[in-house]
């Protein structure tokens, strides 16, 4: 299916859905397993000033979704809100513009990230996103694959910016077979770094396909200038960093103690539409490879969470409304 055909189908679906006052959205009201997830009818959100509304074609299930639902990442006031929506990555077509927004035009295929915690998130029929945080979707992949870009690629990109390594420096990417780690391997290689990618032994071929110079499953004796710990492994990963090097973790709550003059950093993933557009360009140029492990209808969100929690997922799990 071409992008134009895909857009026509999505536009038709948007028109049909717009006749109704409600939409479907994934929420949870209590901490627990996948069984606490609900699909509710909620009002279609109106874009505020500076925002766009997107008719969702695809939304991913990320580690944060699973961790928040399970209570591993505490979000203050969940019970006070009554419910919390899930989903940050979104790909779809612009459906409505808020005040002061001149573009992207209605009907444009875009990707973006829902920033923050709300009663509904990207795992819904419609999502509202800041206009400055969206980018036109890639031409080279469909919207299902495009949905894997916003959170994971921006997290990897911003983590590498914190590393501030120079071409030729050795960098460890831990958790390199995962969604964030995979993008980090590709971006680090593109930046001219010597990439040492860590994952399970069975992932060695994948890591080399992504661009790793070395694929390792054992960190003993390894020495690098910097590490991006997307696993995270904590002490095992920071032990590989030379004195005075840099350690960046994907989880601030699991940050190792300061040691040996190593600079400690943690990316706070921010939605940057201009930079996201540059990442889209890298996808279209073949520098970045999108990976989708499996797709699910929105109604099977609990199954997607259960599959994610079992581990070993290589690529993103994507919900399709």
CB-CB contact of 93 with 14 (8 Å) = yes
Tell how far CA 17 is from the center of its chain: 27
Per-residue pLDDT at 75: 63
Is residue 276 included in any domain, yes or no? Answer: no
Rounded distance, CA 121 to CA 109, Å? 19
Check whether residue 8 and residue 52 sit in a common domain. Answer: yes
Distance (Å, rounded) from C-alpha 1 to C-alpha 27? 31
Question: CA–CA separation, 275 vs 273, rounded Å?
Answer: 6
Residue 181 and residue 103 share a domain: no
What's the total number of domains in the chain? 2
Whether cis (ω within 30° of 0) applies to the bond prior to 232 is yes
Q: Say what angle helices 150-163 and 273-284 make with each other, to 10 degrees.
A: 100
pLDDT band at 78 (very low <50, low <70, confident <90, very high): low
Among candidate residues 252, 243, 251, 209, the one with its CA nearest the CA of residue 223? 243
Pairing of strands 126-130, 84-85: unpaired
* Same domain flag for 143 and 69: yes
- Does the pLDDT of residue 7 top 60, yes or no? no
| 12 and 101 both lie in a single domain | yes
Q: Name the token pair of 166.
A: 């120079």
Q: pLDDT tens, 197-239?
A: 999 999 999 999 999 999 999 999 999 999 999 999 999 999 9
**Residue 297 within any structural domain of the chain:** yes
Q: Is residue 208 included in any domain, yes or no?
A: yes
Give the tens place of pLDDT for each residue, 191-207: 999 999 999 999 999 99
pLDDT at 190 over 80: yes
Q: Are residues 157 and 218 in the same domain?
A: yes
Find the CATH number of the domain harbouring 227.
Answer: 3.40.50.720
Q: Are residues 134 and 158 in the same domain?
A: no
Sequential DSSP letters for 76-121: TTHHHHS-EE---EEEEEEEEE-TT---SPTT-EEEEE--S--SS-
Q: Determine, yes or no, domain membership for 92.
A: yes
Q: Flag whether 283 is in a domain.
A: no
The residues that bridge with 235 in the sheet, in sequence order, are none
- Are residue 166 and residue 228 in the same domain, yes or no? yes
- Domain membership of residue 245 (yes or no) is yes
Residues 316, 253 share a domain = no
**Is the pLDDT score of 13 beyond 60?**
no
Distance of CA 252 to the CA centre of its chain: 17
pLDDT of res. 32: 93
Percent helix / strand / coil, the chain, rounded to 5: 30, 30, 40
- Examine residue 284 and state whether it is found in any structural domain, yes or no: no
CATH, residue 51: 3.90.180.10
Query: Does 40 map to a domain?
Result: yes
Assess whether 7 and 97 both reside in one domain: yes
Co-location of 54 and 133 in the same domain: yes
Confidence band (pLDDT; 50, 70, 90) for 2?
very low
Query: 141 with 156, same domain?
Result: no
pLDDT, position 115 = 80
| Whole-number Å distance between alpha carbons of 287 and 123 | 28
Are 129 and 162 within one domain? no
Range of the domain at 102: 3-149+290-320
pTM to 2 decimals? 0.90
Instruction: Give the length of the chain.
Output: 321
């Amino acid at each position: 299916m071409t992008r134009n055909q895909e857009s026509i189908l999505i536009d038709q679906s948007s028109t049909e859905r717009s006749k109704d006052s409600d939409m479907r959205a994934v929420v949870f009201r209590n901490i627990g397993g996948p069984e606490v997830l609900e699909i509710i009818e909620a009002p279609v959100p109106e874009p505020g000033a500076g925002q766009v509304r997107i008719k969702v074609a695809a939304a991913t299930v990320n580690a944060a979704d699973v961790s928040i639902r399970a209570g591993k990442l505490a979000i203050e006031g969940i019970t006070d809100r009554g419910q919390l929506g899930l989903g940050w990555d979104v790909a779809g077509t612009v459906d409505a513009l808020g005040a002061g927004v001149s573009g992207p035009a209605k009907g444009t295929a875009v990707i973006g990230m829902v920033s923050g915690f709300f009663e509904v998130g990207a795992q819904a029929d419609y999502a509202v996103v800041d206009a400055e945080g969206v980018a036109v979707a890639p031409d080279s992949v469909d919207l299902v694959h495009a949905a894997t870009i916003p959170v994971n690629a921006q997290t990897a990109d911003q983590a590498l910016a914190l590393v501030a390594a120079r071409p030729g420096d050795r960098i460890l990417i831990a958790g390199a077979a995962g969604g964030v780690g995979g993008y980090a391997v590709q971006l680090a290689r593109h930046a001219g770094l010597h990439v040492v990618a860590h994952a399970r032994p069975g992932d060695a071929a994948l890591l080399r396909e992504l661009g790793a110079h070395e694929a390792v499953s054992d960190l003993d004796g390894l020495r690098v200038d910097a590490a991006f710990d997307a696993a995270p492994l904590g002490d095992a990963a920071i032990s590989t960093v030379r004195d005075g090097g840099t350690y960046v973790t994907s989880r601030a709550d699991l940050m190792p103690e300061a040691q040996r003059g190593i600079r400690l950093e943690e990316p706070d993933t921010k939605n940057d539409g201009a930079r996201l557009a540059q990442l889209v360009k890298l996808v279209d140029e073949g520098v970045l490879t999108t990976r989708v492990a499996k797709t699910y209808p929105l109604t099977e969100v609990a199954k997607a969470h259960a599959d994610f929690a079992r581990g070993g997922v290589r690529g993103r799990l994507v919900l399709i409304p």
